[in-house]
């Protein structure tokens, strides 16, 4: 379809990536191409495709039509030039860091409460390989500008909405500041989804998604994607040809299908999360609710501005009053509808205990420094009726002392 870029997000979500020219017959829905290799009538032709003098596919690790259809769709939804898919969100984050030039002797800056595995990737693996990692507390005494000026990092990695404390990053200001110091800006936009926010329109250099979450949306596909310029996409593809963290064609097909209903799902999830957050904020057993849609949230105005009234995200977190691990476990065991499962962004309402799940691998001190207490619970709102979700939470909260 031509001129997709001029159409609304809902329209682009349905049609993006589909009906790439494929010979005589063009199916309405992109087919799954499981083939690993591609056949050409002559060796000259194969040689030309290998050399990128002719368009085509050679070998699944380098690229394939189904994966390309998904990459085209997600680049369209993030308003980027191009995208490279990966086998998981972590594969995507790792590749983006390497593509931007993270090597021994360089510095990376990130925020305190990013996803647990991202913290570990930076603080353990990359640190052991000679990379300096600085965790910045955006509300702390040492400002980001002071750290940038002192360390001139190659990369600033931030989450649009942080996991699990739902802090909202001022991407436009951070990007302007980081670029003054020659630092590239990598935004993990998983929690916001392309429906709420497009970081590339606000000068980010790379946008990353765990496709496993809102883009897939049904809890049945694992994947990752990085959206950037065509030039950066080439770097990412060259890297993935060597390290091989490729998205499979079946997964790509599911992810492409997920794109079509992304805005509808996220709209419902935002509405449900807002209802649940408001209800929890008034509950006597609840201490603190972290949700950007609440007026009490420190970045509520920023979130309103960045997300343009489309919503405030489908996830929230809260603390049960005076709760220790046993209390939280009892609450989660008492749930009947909401599922205690270690993922988010699905059509099902999911509840997670960050201290023993997403941030389990951090030490107790690291969690405390990030503000992740034992009593913290994260909810990812599904698309069920909000009254049913609230009724389930109510009976489970009543079951804890
Ligand atoms: C914000 C964020 N980024 C990245 C990831 C990693 O994604 P994946 O599990 O697909 O590797 C997660 C996983 O929970 C996440 O929450």
CA of 92 to the centre of ligand 1 (A): 9
**Separation of CA 11 from chain center:** 22
What are the backbone dihedrals phi and psi of residue 252, each rounded to the nearest 5 degrees, phi first? Answer: -60, -40
Identify the residue whose C-alpha is closest to ligand 1 atom 16.
115
- Neighbouring residues of 98: CB distance < 8 A, sequence distance ≥ 6: 239
Return d(Cα 76, Cα 11) in angstroms, integer.
11
Identify the residue whose C-alpha is closest to ligand 1 atom 10.
89
Residue 219 has pLDDT above 80, yes or no: yes
CA of 22 to the centre of ligand 1 (A): 34
The atom number, within ligand 1, closest to the CA of 163 reads 1
- The rounded percent of the chain whose pLDDT value lies above 70 is 98
Give the burial class of 171: count Cβ atoms within 10 A of its Cβ; 0-12 exposed, 13-18 middle, 19 or more buried. Answer: buried
Ligand 1 site-directed mutation target among 85, 93, 210, most atoms within 8 Å of CB: 210
Averaged pLDDT, 147-171:
95
Q: Which residue has the tokens 């500008």?
A: 145
Position 139 scores a pLDDT of 67
Averaged pLDDT, 363-384:
92
Averaged pLDDT, 238-246:
96
Q: Which residue has the tokens 């001139």?
A: 152
- 256-306 pLDDT, tens digit per residue, is 999 999 999 999 999 999 999 999 999 999 999 999 999 999 999 999 999
Contact 106, 154 (CB under 8 A): yes
Return d(Cα 396, Cα 392) in angstroms, integer.
6
CA of 168 to the centre of ligand 1 (A): 17
3 state DSSP class of 183: coil
In 10 A of CB 251, how many CB atoms? 24
Minimum mean pLDDT range among 72-86, 111-125, 192-206: 111-125
Position 74 scores a pLDDT of 98
Ligand 1 site-directed mutation target among 95, 163, 168, 362, most atoms within 8 Å of CB: 163
The atom number, within ligand 1, closest to the CA of 114 reads 1
Position 20 scores a pLDDT of 85
Mean pLDDT over all residues of the chain? 95
Residue 1 has pLDDT above 60, yes or no: no
Residue 239 has pLDDT above 90, yes or no: yes
Buried b / exposed e over 3-35, threshold 16 CB at 10 Å, is ebeeeebeebbbebbbeeeeeeeeeeebebbee
Return d(Cα 390, Cα 272) in angstroms, integer.
9
Averaged pLDDT, 160-183:
95
Identify the residue whose C-alpha is closest to ligand 1 atom 9.
89
Band of residue 24 on the pLDDT scale cut at 50, 70, 90: confident
* Residues labelled catalytic: 61, 115, 188, 213
The atom number, within ligand 1, closest to the CA of 358 reads 14
CA of 191 to the centre of ligand 1 (A): 9
3 state DSSP class of 210: strand
Band of residue 361 on the pLDDT scale cut at 50, 70, 90: confident
The atom number, within ligand 1, closest to the CA of 93 reads 4
Rounded to two decimals, the pTM is 0.96
Residue ranges around ligand 1 (CB below 6 Å)? 88-90, 115, 117, 159, 163, 188, 190-191, 210, 212, 222, 224, 358
- 304-359 pLDDT, tens digit per residue, is 999 999 999 999 999 999 999 999 999 999 999 999 999 999 999 999 999 999 88
Return d(Cα 198, Cα 59) in angstroms, integer.
32
| CA neighbor of 188 nearest in space, from 211, 165, 220, 218 | 211
Query: What DSSP state is assigned to residue 122?
Result: I
Sign of CA dihedral 146, 101, 211, 305: positive
The atom number, within ligand 1, closest to the CA of 92 reads 11
H or E stretch at 207: strand 206-210
Position 226 scores a pLDDT of 98
Position 140 scores a pLDDT of 62
Buried b / exposed e over 321-360, threshold 16 CB at 10 Å, is eebeeebbeebbeebebbbbeebbbbbbbbbbbbbebbbe
Give the burial class of 394: count Cβ atoms within 10 A of its Cβ; 0-12 exposed, 13-18 middle, 19 or more buried. Answer: middle
Position 362 scores a pLDDT of 84
Return d(Cα 57, Cα 61) in angstroms, integer.
10
- Neighbouring residues of 342: CB distance < 8 A, sequence distance ≥ 6: 352, 357, 358
- 129-153 pLDDT, tens digit per residue, is 999 999 998 766 668 999 999 999 9
């Amino acid at each position: 379809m031509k001129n997709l870029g001029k159409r609304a997000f809902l329209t682009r979500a349905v049609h993006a990536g589909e009906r790439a020219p494929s010979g005589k017959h063009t199916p309405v829905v992109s087919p799954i191409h499981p083939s690993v290799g591609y056949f050409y009538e002559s060796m000259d032709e194969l040689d030309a495709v290998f050399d990128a003098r002719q368009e085509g596919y050679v070998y699944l690790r380098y690229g394939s039509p189904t994966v390309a259809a998904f990459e085209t769709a997600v680049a369209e939804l993030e308003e980027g030039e191009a995208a490279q898919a990966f086998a998981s969100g972590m594969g995507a984050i790792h590749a983006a860091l390497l593509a931007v030039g993270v090597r021994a002797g360089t510095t990376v800056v990130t925020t305190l409460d990013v996803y647990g595995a991202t913290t570990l990737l930076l603080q353990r693996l990359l640190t052991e390989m000679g990379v300096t990692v600085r965790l910045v507390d955006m509300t702390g005494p040492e400002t980001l500008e002071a750290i940038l000026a002192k360390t001139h990092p190659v990369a600033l990695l931030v989450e649009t909405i942080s996991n699990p404390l739902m802090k909202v990053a001022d991407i436009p200001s951070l990007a302007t500041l980081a670029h003054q110091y020659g630092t590239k800006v990598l935004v993990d936009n998983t929690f916001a989804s392309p429906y709420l926010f497009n970081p590339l329109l606000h000068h980010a250099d790379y946008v990353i998604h765990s496709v496993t979450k809102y883009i897939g949306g049904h809890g049945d596909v694992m994947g990752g994607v990085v959206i950037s310029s065509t030039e950066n996409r080439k770097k990412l593809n060259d890297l993935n040809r060597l390290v091989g963290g490729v998205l499979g064609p079946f997964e790509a097909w599911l992810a492409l299908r997920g794109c079509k209903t992304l805005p509808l799902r996220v709209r419902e999830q935002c509405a449900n999360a807002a209802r649940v957050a408001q209800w929890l904020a008034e509950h006597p057993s609840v201490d603190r609710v972290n949700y950007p849609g609440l007026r009490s949230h420190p970045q509520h105005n920023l979130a309103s501005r960045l997300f343009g009234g489309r919503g405030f995200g489908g996830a929230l977190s809260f603390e049960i009053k005076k709760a220790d691990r046993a209390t939280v476990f009892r609450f989660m065991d008492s749930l009947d509808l909401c599922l205690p499962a270690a993922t988010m962004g699905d059509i099902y309402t999911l509840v997670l205990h960050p201290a023993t799940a997403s941030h389990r691998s951090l030490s107790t001190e690291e969690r405390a420094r990030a503000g992740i207490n034992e009593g913290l619970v994260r909810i990812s709102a599904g698309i069920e009726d909000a009254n049913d979700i609230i009724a389930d939470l109510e009976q489970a909260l009543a079951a804890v002392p």
